[in-house]
Amino acid sequence: MVLAQLGGSISLALRQMNDATIFDQKVLNECLNNIARALLQADVQFKLVSDMLTNIKQIVNLDDIAAGHNKRKIIQQAIFKELCKILDPGKPSFTLMKGKPSVVMFVGLQGSGKTTTCTKYAYYHHKKGWKPALVCADTFRAGAFDQLKQNATKAKIPFYGSYTESDPVRIAVEGVERFKKENCDLIIVDTSGRHKQEAALFEEMRQVSEATKPDLVIFVMDSSIGQAAFDQAQAFKQSVSVGAVIVTKMDGHAKGGGALSAVAATKSPVIFIGTGEHMNEFEVFDAKPFVSRLLGMGDWSGFMDKINEAVPIDQQPKYHEKLKEGKFTLRIMFEFVQNILQMGPIGQFLSNIPGFNEELMPKGNEKETQAKRQRYMTMMDSMTNEELDSCDPKIINESRIMRIARGSGRNLREVMEMLEEYKRIAKMLSNISALTGLTRNLSAQATSNAFPPQMLKLMGGLQNLMKQMGSTKDMMGMLGGGKK
Ligand SMILES: Nc1nc2c(ncn2[C@@H]2O[C@H](COP(=O)(O)OP(=O)(O)OP(=O)(O)O)[C@@H](O)[C@H]2O)c(=O)[nH]1
């Protein structure tokens, strides 16, 4: 995935900092230099990187941090905050309102994915109960209207355009007027692009904008444009009042750091990302979970969203309390995996879990993982309820390990590996929780909305779990524990 390499390099820099026995200015400088190098290599603009380092250094003055405070955590928090700050300059300049006609104009270079994104945007809102419509004011590229027409028809979105009219302003105005009369509440105007930034393009954009008076102008940017992103985004911003950014082709192999630069240049947030050519390959963009993923901390909210649906609400309070108290038990771990397994492609899902980025979950591991499930089940079967519900793996002493191994027909090493994996995840979850302040800072209501539902489902019932889960090593593979 785009930016995966950047995420990997940043998390490596943080890991190296965490592993250093003595933590001093030298270790801090090395960590910050490594992060700066990673950002620059990912095409983030030089000035942005240098400003970010200055800010972090100001926040993290080692001499000023009182003894007893966890300096490493303060640094991680500062890095997290700074990256979020770059990516999230606040709300878009305009918020759409259902039932009230809004005009949204799309701008961007040719080939950036503008036309495709217009339809994705319309389709996204259509699914949410809006009444969108598409206007093709791109008279520059032959075939643009056909493309929009084809996409719009597929998505069942009304459209307007012309094969003969060459004046984009006229088409835009006619289209907007028509759809206003038809009570559409989201009128999307697709404009022409050019291969490069040209005066003619900007002039045309200005005229369309003046004539249609859009409530929001969205700048569409291809994620692979690299260091040129800042200047390109700035040039668009100077011509029309860009209020939001959509970054496309995030599914490609580009470095993607340009997205950060575009946000800084337009001072407008990224609101969606395109992750493929198809209509539904379009995701709402939220800076915090994105940066979490970038830093290898996983995307908690994405993860929670995915498992949220399946959880019995009546069980929420119980698990809410358990998690708030930091009670991550072996039973939770197993049911956690069980539910992950029920939720579609494991690799994609795991990428949402804190700590499990693509490097920890190499391709090919999945198959192996599936094959090991049966062994998990048998080992779980040999544990007592007390063991499954405890947060203290020490209660499973040597003789119990031997007993579990014997009872499940597995070897000692496999049982120990499972327990090690449990400890690793428990530690990781406590780190994540501390770092994001997740359980600590959420209100009871917010927490019960986010956490318990999934965890409940995760826990679902041991019987069920036994049927569907596999063995210990399986879990290790699934959770990336076997790969360091
Ligand atoms: N992989 C991938 N391809 C995309 C994405 N968004 C758009 N594309 C593809 O990018 C190519 C260009 O997209 P268009 O929508 O035609 O680009 P455009 O900016 O409207 O181009 P002009 O109309 O010429 O200005 C098409 O082949 C799209 O299918 C994306 O998120 N991921």
Please tell me the predicted confidence (pLDDT) of residue 475.
Answer: 33
> Ligand 1 center to residue 11 CA distance, Å?
32
* Angle in degrees, 0-180, between the axes of helices 71-87 and 46-59, rounded to the nearest 10: 140
* Candidate of 1, 106, 115, 116 to mutate for ligand 1, largest count of ligand atoms within 8 Å of Cβ: 116
- Show the DSSP H helices in 136-222 as ranges: 144-155, 168-181, 199-212
Residue 324 reports pLDDT greater than 80: no
| pLDDT averaged over every residue in the chain | 73
Q: Given a cut of 60, is residue 87 above it in pLDDT?
A: yes
Residue 154 to residue 170: CA distance in whole angstroms? 26
Give the distance (Å) from ligand 1 centre to CA of residue 116. Answer: 5
Confidence band for 463, pLDDT divided at 50, 70 and 90: very low
Tell me the C-alpha distance between 373 and 217, whole Å.
Answer: 51
Instruction: Answer whether residue 297 shows pLDDT above 50.
Output: yes
Angle at 455 between CA 453 and CA 460, to 5 degrees: 95
Question: Is residue 411 classed exposed, middle or buried when 0-12, 13-18 and 19+ CB atoms within 10 A define those classes?
Answer: exposed
Alpha carbons 393 and 453: distance in angstroms, whole number: 25
The reply to whether ligand 1 has any atom less than 6 angstroms from the CB of 452 is: no
Q: Are 402 and 373 in contact (CB under 8 A)?
A: no
* Residue 159 · residue 146 · CB < 8 Å: no
| Greatest mean pLDDT range, 27-31, 95-99, 285-289 | 27-31
- Report CA(117)–ligand 1 centroid distance (Å): 7
pLDDT over 80 at 177, yes or no: yes
Band of pLDDT at residue 347, cut at 50, 70 and 90: very low
Which atom of ligand 1 is the closest one to the Cα of 220? 19
CB 28 within 8 A of CB 53: no
Distance 394 CA to ligand 1 centre (A): 56
Q: What is the mean pLDDT of residues 42-47?
A: 80
Residue with the bigger pLDDT between 96 and 92: it is: 96
Decide: helix, strand or coil at residue 283.
strand
Other residues' Cβ atoms within 10 Å of the Cβ of residue 139:
23
Q: Is 115 in the pocket of ligand 1 (CB under 6 A)?
A: yes
Q: State pLDDT tens for residues 416-462.
A: 887 887 777 676 656 544 434 433 333 333 333 333 333 333 333 22
Query: From the alpha carbon of 248, which atom of ligand 1 is closest?
Result: 31
CB of 224 closer than 6 angstroms to any ligand 1 atom: no
- Judged against a pLDDT cut of 70, whether residue 311 lies above it is answered with no
Give the model's pLDDT for residue 438. 39
CA angle 295, 298, 300 (to 5 degrees): 130
Which pLDDT score, from 0 to 100, does residue 102 have? 95
pLDDT of 340 strictly over 60: no
Ligand 1: which of 120, 272, 277, 278 to mutate, most ligand atoms within 8 Å of CB? 277
Is 256 touching ligand 1 by the criterion CB < 6 Å?
no
Starting at the earlier edge strand, list the strands of the sheet with 242-248.
159-160, 132-137, 186-191, 102-107, 216-222, 242-248, 270-274, 282-284
185 lines ligand 1 (CB under 6 A): no
Model confidence at 280: pLDDT above 60: yes
Please tell me the distance between residue 221's alpha carbon and the centre of ligand 1 in angstroms: 10
- pLDDT digits over 384-408, tens only? 888 888 888 788 888 899 898 888 8
Domain 300-479 top-level CATH class: mainly alpha
Domain residue extents for the chain:
4-87, 102-287, 300-479
How many A from CA of 397 to the centre of ligand 1? Answer: 59
Contact 145/163 with Cβ under 8 angstroms? Answer: yes
**Whole-number pLDDT of residue 288:** 76
Q: Is the ipTM of this complex over 0.90?
A: yes
∠ CA 429-419-414 to the nearest 5 degrees?
135
CA angle 187, 188, 190 (to 5 degrees): 150
pLDDT score at 320: 45
Nearest CA to ligand 1 atom 3: 277
Comparing 232 with 211, the larger pLDDT belongs to 211
Distance 99 CA to ligand 1 centre (A): 29
Binding site membership of 283 for ligand 1 (Cβ less than 6 Å): no
* Rounded distance from Cα 94 to ligand 1 centre (Å): 25
Cα of 232 from ligand 1 centre, angstroms: 17
Q: How far is the C-alpha of 412 from the C-alpha of 42, rounded, in Å? A: 45
Ligand 1, atom 10, residue with closest C-alpha: 113
Question: What one-letter code names the amino acid at 473?
Answer: K
pLDDT digits (tens, 9 = 90+) for 225-237: 777 788 888 889 9
168 CB less than 6 Å from ligand 1?
no
Phi, psi of 144 (to 5 degrees): -65, -45
pLDDT tops 70 at residue 3? no
Nearest Cα to Cα of residue 46 among 255, 292, 260, 293: 260
Q: Inform me whether the pLDDT recorded for 370 exceeds 60.
A: no
Ligand 1 contact, 274 CB (< 6 A): yes
> Residue of the nearest CA to atom 13 in ligand 1?
113
Please, are residues 222 and 249 in contact by the beta-carbon 8 Å criterion? Answer: yes
Atom of ligand 1 nearest to the CA of 276: 32
For residue 132, pLDDT beyond 50: yes
Residue 446 CA, ligand 1 centroid: distance in Å: 38
Angstrom distance (rounded) from CA 42 to CA 86: 15
| Residue range 102-287, CATH number | 3.40.50.300
pLDDT of residue 140: 82
Beta carbons within 8 Å of 427's beta carbon, 6+ residues apart: none
**Which atom belonging to ligand 1 lies closest to the Cα atom of 273?**
31
Alpha-carbon span 330 to 479, nearest angstrom: 14
Q: Ligand 1 pocket, 120 CB below 6 A?
A: no
Confidence of residue 281 (pLDDT cuts 50, 70, 90): confident
Atom of ligand 1 nearest to the CA of 282: 31
Ligand 1 atom 25: residue of nearest CA: 110
Closest CA to 46 of 193, 264, 222, 236: 264
> Contact at 8 Å (CB) between 426 and 328?
yes
Determine the atom of ligand 1 nearest the C-alpha atom of 144.
23
For range 199-207, the mean pLDDT: 87
From 6-20, 132-146, 229-243, the region with the lowest mean pLDDT? 6-20
Q: Is CATH 1.10.760.10 the right assignment for the domain spanning 4-87?
A: no
Q: Which residues contact 255 (CB under 8 A, 6 or more apart)?
A: 2, 3, 5, 6, 41, 42, 43, 224, 226
| pLDDT recorded at residue 80 | 81
The pair of structure tokens assigned to 157 is 């979105």
Most confident option among 51-55, 101-105, 464-468:
101-105
Q: How far is the CA of 156 from the centre of ligand 1 (A)?
A: 20
CA-CA distance, 369 to 344, in Å (whole number)? Answer: 14
The CA distances from residue 345 to 340, 352, 370, in Å, are 9, 12, 12
CA dihedral 41, 7, 45, 75 (to 10 degrees): -120
Dihedral-angle region of residue 326 (phi above 0 means left; psi in -120 to 50 means alpha; beta otherwise): left
Residue 137 has pLDDT above 50, yes or no: yes
